[in-house]
Amino acid sequence: MAKWLQYTKRADFKGIGEHLGVDQVIARIMVNRGLDSEEQMQIFLHPDHKQLLDGGTMKDMAKAVSLLRDAILQGKHIRVVGDYDIDGVQATYILHQGLLHCGAKVSYSIPHRVTDGYGINESIIESCVNDGVDVVITCDNGIAAREPIAMAKEAGLTVIVTDHHEIPYEICHGERKYLLPPADAIVNPKQENCAYPFKNLCGAAVAWKVIGQLFSAMDMPASDSDVFLENAAFATVGDVMELQGENRTIVSLGLHQLQHTKNIGMETLIKRCGLEGKTLGAYHIGFVLGPCINASGRLDSATKSLELLEAKDTMTAAALAEQLVSLNEERKVMTERGVQWAVDIVEKNLNNDKVLVIYLPGVHESIAGIIAGRIRERFEKPTFVLVDGEQEEGLKGSGRSVEAFSMYEEMCKCQELFSKFGGHPMAAGLSMPKENLESFREKINENSSLGEEDLQKVVHIDVPVPFSYLNMSLIEQLDLLEPFGNGNSKPVFAQKNVTFSQVKAIGKQGQFYKAVAKGEDGFTVDALYFGPQDLWKQCMEKSDTFMITYYPQINTFGNREQIQIVITDICV
């Protein structure tokens, strides 16, 4: 069972609400999110372009822009080297189109997930040399590519790295020694002595900052780069970055722009996914549009997604959108099979492990990360899913973590077992010889200091709200707190002593429930439950009254609007 904790922060919520023109519940939620001044709350409620930070303060930004400007003016061949996920595709699009707008001679290369693996490599460098490339600029990768970049420098190439991943390091005499690649310029807000105040941009947002600075250097309006704001927003959500600080501003503004996108490919994909005319939110990027962009890099080539974004006519865009949707449907089926297999392995063999290391031979490597994420959610444990790589590669895998376990740092403690690894505190990728599998499982668990509380799901309750307090105005004001996602979760309301009537199963397999919920104050509201079916059944068998967490919404049917709630958790 999850641990339920209620925020106990104190403030004059009613006074704050009156001053800001919002319900006191909205004020309380913002205080719970760590906003301790009305100025911060105003910024949170009303994002605008003035809140975007100056990319020129990033370390090596001026150097990178100068190198690009000189290359453009001298007619040198620039090649963008991206990555095959949402962030990498959007970053590649931003750099490629931005450089074309500056009149550059520019091409791009996106590694193939299976044949190339992650990031820039020796093969890509060889292609650059053979194609007469003069300048290589990476995006969403490169910070850990010391050997390929050294090879590029030896071949006489100019190399610019733009990235957002953690800087690789080794422990020397108890201190971290950071290992930077020998590039001519490195733009990554996470590197030491970088003055840029916000460190958690995604790769596409870093690329967007570069293009904005380049436009200025080329005597073009920097605001012209705002056309790529929707791409930076899309990537921020798709790469599951925290929606705090500048990221929240980027996504808020970018979603509004995406709603009226002038990009033919994106507009076509939105229509194909049945979202035309709907108000787009972070959910639609994370669970509808984003998976389609990701699907080509998982099961085919990510260049299909880039070609969609660069499509010049609706016929071409429609054909590409259809392919991406089809690939995503195929990916869903493969994922469900892999998840069930992984669950069986955990329940039979790995129940006592605090860190799950699961080997799934025959599963496509592109869905290892998705499966790892699903298993992490189910068991509330850091999870690595490993699959067979190419013949000489051994095993390849992805990891997804919990808050108390910094995945990248823990992997550094047993890095001798890997042939390649990298990532974030919450996610990582790796390659390793197959014979090291069991040693990895043992060592990552032995090194772990995770306790039972670290592995228990925690539900933070924002405020107990009786059903009688719910009204249309409050629910509409909740939209001011969007976008919701990592780092800015949906508010959690709670109500105790709830009873249910008119319960009926809904969904294709009857796996969800609809009921009328009655609170202890006697007020009733329609309720939907989409959580685990077994949890619902267990609770119903044990008691007649329940404590629930929920989120309210407005159900529109025809011309009629009615308040309903979605139950997010339940216990007796």
Instruction: Return the minimum-mean-pLDDT range out of 195-204, 440-449, 551-560.
Output: 551-560
Question: What's the rounded Cα separation, in Å, for the pair 217 and 504?
Answer: 63
Task: Indicate if the pLDDT at residue 424 is higher than 80.
Answer: no
**What local confidence, expressed as pLDDT, does residue 171 receive?**
81
**Predicted TM-score of the model (pTM):** 0.89
Confidence of residue 276 (pLDDT cuts 50, 70, 90): very high
Among 9-18, 275-284, 444-453, 544-553, which is the least confidently predicted range? Answer: 444-453
Least trusted range by pLDDT, from 4-18, 33-47, 112-126, 271-285: 112-126
pLDDT at 228: 98
What are 544-556's pLDDT values in tens digits?
999 999 999 999 8
Res. 1 pLDDT band, cuts 50 70 90 = low
Pick from 484, 495, 403, 468: nearest CA to 29: 484
Torsion angles phi and psi, residue 250, rounded to 5? -60, -45
Q: What percent of the chain has pLDDT over 70?
A: 99
pLDDT above 90: residue 122: yes
Which residues, at least 6 apart from 202, have a Cβ–Cβ distance to it below 8 Å? 87, 91, 140, 164, 232, 235, 236, 239, 241, 247
- Mean pLDDT across the stretch 333-349? 95
Which residues, at least 6 apart from 322, have a Cβ–Cβ distance to it below 8 Å?
Answer: 272
Q: Quote the CA–CA distance of 135 and 70 in Å, as a whole number.
A: 10
pLDDT at 259: 95
Flag whether pLDDT at 331 surpasses 80. yes
pLDDT of residue 321: 97
Count the alpha carbons within 13 Å of 345 in the hemisphere toward its beta carbon.
Answer: 19
* Distance, CA of 341 to CA of 563 (rounded, Å): 40
311: tokens are: 């499509």
pLDDT reading at 422 higher than 90: no
- What domains are there in the chain, each with its CATH number? 3-8+458-571 (2.40.50.460), 55-237 (3.90.1640.30), 350-455 (3.10.310.30)
- Tokens 């077992």 appear where? 417
Q: Is the pLDDT of residue 455 over 90?
A: no
Does residue 102 surpass a pLDDT of 70? yes
Residue written as token pair 């009873």: 499
| pLDDT at residue 559 greater than cutoff 90 | no
* 534 CB neighbour count, 10 Å cutoff: 8
Q: What is the pLDDT of residues 365-399, one digit of tens each?
A: 889 999 999 999 889 999 999 999 875 679 999 99
Instruction: Kindly indicate the confidence band of residue 279, based on its pLDDT and cuts at 50, 70 and 90.
Output: very high
pLDDT score for 391: 59
**Residues 6 or more apart in contact with residue 313 via CB below 8 angstroms:** 264
